[in-house]
Structure 1
Amino acid sequence: MTKLAIVGLGLALAPHMQSLKDLKGRVSLGHAVTRSPERAATFNAEYAAEFGIEAASDLAAALADPELDGVILLTPPQSHLALGAQILAAGKHLLIEKPAGLTTDDSRALLAQAQAAGLLVAPVLQHRFRPAIRTLERRISAGEFGRLCGGNCLFPWWRAQSYYDTPGRGTYARDGGGVLLTQAIHTLDVLRALAGGIRIVASRAVTSALHRMEAEDMVAALAEFGPDAAPGTIFATTACYPGMSETITLIFERATVHIDAALGRISHHDGRVEVLGTEGASGNTADPMAFHHGPHRDLIENFVDALEGKAALSVGLSELVATREVIDQMPRPSAG
């Protein structure tokens, strides 16, 4: 049985704990680490009895466990580089929450450290594990729909000001950026994977009148998708009340693919229509955790499969680096 630890017991914890419940009998949770007494108390009240462990504050002690195989790192972005490096230095495989550091170089450094040590490192990019996305990625890669001719991506989410009033949220020092790096990165990663790459031609980022924050909450971009430089657009915001689901539309020679959150629709140009996946919340509204944990479970299961030598990582940290390189092409905000 693979033994994992979770480091960081904040907002992102719930879908991981639900996933570990589903994977009981195959994965054991050996350690839960936090520096917050309040979060430790909450963890103990909700999970200690079921998982047979209590939260602790000593990461070094957890990493010294010779039976520990890997760590799920869920702490805020500004801590990712130092903690990720500490975990890898202890010889433990790493599943790390996006954005895997404040800068793209932070992510590159963790990837290089893992490769040098022969360890696995994967990002929590759970949208890539949505059933519809996995099916579309396979069929697009096989060339089923022909050449990509154009597309667009719309990310009209909502976050109340109270979300950004949490100390550090929406700042470069804690999060590394705004809507692109903290929320839209999942959808941009799906778009990049399905389109075969993204090049930003022109963009504008602003901090709108709807939020008081340092980083951007609204971005518009002209883009080129894939090896044939198909024209397209990207618009991302957390200032669209009350929040709508993210969409991707890709126009191919033989079909148009439309993705609405976890639901995919293939409109073949001969009139056939296929529907993939299911409708469901995606965290687009004021509650950022309003989504099903299934893709998290599948992501963790793939990570465990890779640790056990049963499969390759479906999405390694190099994928996150590539998506961050797209975000790096879009400048920081000007006055909104």
Structure 2
Amino acid sequence: MAKPPAQKRVGVGLIGAGMIAKTHVAALSGLQSVAQLRTIVSRNPERALYLADHYDGAAPEFSADLTAVAADPSISMVIVATPPSVRKDVIAELAKAGKHILLEKPVARTPEEALEVVEICEREGVMLGVLFQHRMRETSIAAARHVAGGMLGKLGVVEIAVPLWRDQSYYDELGRGTYARDGGGVMITNAIHSIDLALSMTGPVTRVQAMTATSPLHRMEAEDFATAGLRFANGAVGSFVASTAMYPHRTEVIRLHFENGSMRLDKDTLEISWRDGRTEHQGKDDSTHAVKPLSGGTHEWHQAVIADFIDAIRVGCKPTVTGRQALVSQQLIAAIEASSQTGLPVDLAV
């Protein structure tokens, strides 16, 4: 039997050369068989040249010309890693040129702006995926499998805790922690990963009662602390707390309490405590290991998201997290903010 013809590598453009760019470049280095990084776009290309040292393939071009990327027929997909404040116009130009778009979270600064981005891509017929790489952790995949299997039974209580630390220098970067550039503070920039991961297993929230604040430990416009009571569409109730003012920096934890057992999921471990006394454990044995702020995990999680997106392009299926699916997390964040402002519960449409 004749072998099927080998598929050509997908040409990739990277838009944005900020803090996360090195992770993307390292991830693409591990995907040489299916992807080729062709161009990195930065406002200051000279400052981005160091990224070539983190790429194992032929050195990409460095440019400030987004239009050239849009016109390049060798580039099929782009990873957009710019601040949220400048994304919509970037995405509109790339989508009009037929480029599939993999987007760093969040989709945009507000749910309304995010919906515009989603509709732009749907109108132009291009795929829009979102980099929620926490879903690709080994323990996250195992947790989702347990939940989907149904043996845990009905979900009753949810705990989402994001106890992070960021030094003031983190917020001294121009625009960070502002509504104009980022769309908010700890929720939309940091905790959105845990929110997305939790909601992927619990289903949507229908009501929130919340409080947000800027603690005395930071000088910033948006919140560095948020807490909320949650009611879910499936009848479960829960709590959410997130902050970048909790020292020392600790890992995010999601706890799901079902009728037949409880699940604890963090960055490296999954533990299930069954009601009959059994305990299942997956991941690192020592869950008290030190966690460094801004470590961002490993590039393998990003690599898995990029590989999934490339497969979706080739097969014509949906990526793990589509732009429209990502709207749910932003809508919940907006509801928490609204409840904090009014002091009243906020209902969300399902």
In the superposition, the TM-score normalised over structure 1's length comes to 0.92
- In structure 2, the partner of 1:210 is 217
Q: Which amino acid is the alignment partner of residue 329 of structure 1?
A: A
Q: Given that residues 41 and 63 in structure 2 are in contact (C-alpha distance below 8 angstroms), is that contact kept between their aligned partners in structure 1? A: yes
1:91 aligns with 2:117: no
User: Which residue of structure 2 aligns with residue 189 of structure 1?
Assistant: 196
SS of aligned partner of 1:30: strand
1:118 maps to amino acid: G
User: Pick from 315, 319, 330: which aligns with 2:336?
Assistant: 330
CA distance in 1, matches of 2:290, 2:10: 30
Q: 1:29 aligns with which of 14, 18, 37?
A: 37
- Say whether the 8 Å CA contact 2:208–2:336 is kept in structure 1: no
**Aligned residue number for residue 118 of structure 1:** 125
Asked if structure 1 preserves the Cα contact closer than 8 Å seen for 2:22 and 2:54, the reply is no
Q: Quick check: 1:247 aligned with 2:272?
A: no
Which of 136, 140, 147 aligns to 1:129? It is 136
Partner of 1:263: 269
- Partner of 2:28 in structure 1? 20
Q: Shift of residue 289 of structure 1?
A: 3.1
Q: Which runs of 5+ in 2 are unaligned?
A: 1-8, 342-350
Deviation at residue 282 of structure 1 after TM alignment: 11
Contact 1:150–1:225 (Cα < 8 Å) also in 2: no
Matched, 1:159 2:156: no
Q: d(CA) in 1 for partners of 2:148 and 2:321?
A: 15
Please say if residues 156 and 284 of structure 1, whose CA atoms lie closer than 8 Å, have aligned partners that are also in contact: no
- Kindly indicate whether the alpha-carbon contact (under 8 Å) linking 1:159 and 1:239 is maintained by their aligned counterparts in 2: yes
Contact 1:48 1:54 in 2 (8 A): no
Q: Is residue 283–residue 289 contact of structure 1 (8 Å, CA) maintained in 2? A: no
8 Å Cα contact 1:207/1:213 also seen in 2 = yes
Write the distance in 1 (CA, Å) between the matches of 2:231 and 2:15. 38
**Structure 1 counterpart of 2:239, from 200, 211, 233:** 233
1:48-84 Cα offsets, whole Å, 9 max, x none, are 7843223111111111111211000011110111111
Q: CA deviation at 1:138?
A: 3.0
**Given residue 111 of structure 2, which amino acid in structure 1 is its aligned partner?**
T
How many percent of aligned residue pairs carry the same amino acid?
33
1:217-262: CA deviation from partner (whole Å, max 9, x where unpaired): 001111113412x121111000001211111111001110101223
One-letter code aligned to 2:259: E
Matched, 1:299 2:305: yes
Decide which of 143, 148, 155 is 2:150's aligned counterpart.
143
After superposition, give the CA deviation of every residue in 1:183-202 in whole Å (9 maximum; x if it has no partner): 00000111111111223431
Q: Any residues of structure 2 matched to 1:314-325 within 5 Å, and which?
A: 314-325=320-331
Query: Alpha-carbon deviation of 1:283?
Result: 11
Contact persistence 1:154–1:235 (CA under 8 A): yes
* 1:117–1:310 distance in 2 versus 1, CA, 3 Å: closer
Contact 2:227 2:240 in 1 (8 A): yes
Q: Kindly tell me: are residues 299 and 48 of structure 1, through their superposed partners in 2, closer, same or farther at Cα, counting changes over 3 Å?
A: closer
Whole-Å separation in 2 of the counterparts to 1:192 and 1:297: 22
Amino acid at match of 1:156: P
Question: Which stretch of the first structure deviates more once superposed, 132-141 or 178-187?
Answer: 132-141
> How much does 1:43 deviate?
2.7
Deviations 1:26-59 (A, max 9, x none): 1111111111245323334x24784322311111
Q: CA deviation at 1:311?
A: 4.9
| Structure 1 portions without partners, runs of 5+ | none
Matches within 5 A, 1:102-117: 102-117=109-124
Q: Distance in 2 between matches of 1:101 and 1:282?
A: 34
Q: Is the 8 A contact 2:15 2:81 kept in 1?
A: yes
> How many matched pairs?
331
Q: What is the distance in 2 between the residues matched to 1:17 and 1:132?
A: 24
Instruction: Provide closer, same or farther for how the CA distance between residues 310 and 173 of structure 1 changes in structure 2, counting only shifts above 3 A.
Output: closer
Q: Is the 8 A contact 2:38 2:61 kept in 1?
A: no
| One of 101, 107, 117 as aligned partner of 1:100 | 107
2:39 and 2:116 map into 1 onto residues whose CA distance is 26
Q: When the two structures are superposed, what TM-score results if normalisation uses the length of structure 2? A: 0.89
